[in-house]
Structure 1
Amino acid sequence: MIVAIASLVLGIILGYLGQRTRLCYIAGYRDFLMARDVTLLKGVIGTVVGAVGGFTLFYFLDGNVPAFPMFATMSASISSSTWLWTIIGGLGVGIVGVLSGGCPFRMHVLACEGKKTYWAYLLGFYVGLIFFNLVTSTWVASITKSLK
């Protein structure tokens, strides 16, 4: 129950901040490369700094976060093919994000603001997630086994 409440509170805080700051990871790079505007890029840099800090803290805690039940039983082991799937997934999200006009985080924020175009995007996003899981989970598992 603590994990559910913490997730809800963190989601509300991040959603509020995302709406107020217009944070979009793809637009941050786009604005910097096209107009040398660093306003949105500051959010991207802040996210990277926060992620590095969080991973460093997690490393110094030996992969265990004390008194936090969500991570109590998880191991910090990473399979040898995880990097491959991370790169493929990141490239896929990046390409689709550019084609749709923004990153999935920004699309969620805009959908919550009531813009129906982004509801359609999110419907396709989640249908695609379910389709990928149902159709390719055995295929991905067999490739992962062969890469080990």
Structure 2
Amino acid sequence: MKTLLIVHHTASPNLQAMFEAVRSGASTDDVEGVEVVARPALTANAVDVLEADGLILGTPVNIGYLSGALKHFFDQIYYPCLEATARRPFTAYLHGANDAGGALRALDAITTGLGWRAVRPPLVVTGEPAKADLEACWELGAITAAELGEAG
């Protein structure tokens, strides 16, 4: 069985709704052979990442950057996971009030440094998530889990 790790910093009702949609999609009964594990960014660690076959990262955009919690996660796992997780598939969802450009650049720089492989472009939602945004979150989770299950 493959493990899909969702590392998230869920600091608002909007992010909670997005996280729940992503987790629901990743856990759909239509996908077999994938266990979904969710960890808050402040408690996720290198062992979680080393045991995962793929990741979904969720974060607010704070002052144009990744949340401090997700940055802390990356600081904790970077060197322990650097070589062992090269080519690890991942994707992400971000929520902000307006511009997410700085957060996207930071996410790209960090995951490129880790050698991770983006399987889907990051999903960015600004403002209150609409029904279509939550459906896109569900699809992000479902498609990522399905691709991970097929890779087995």
TM-score between both structures, scaled by the size of structure 2:
0.32
**Comparing both structures, which one devotes a greater share of its residues to strand?**
2
Bigger Cα Rg: 1
**Comparing both structures, which one devotes a greater share of its residues to helix?**
1
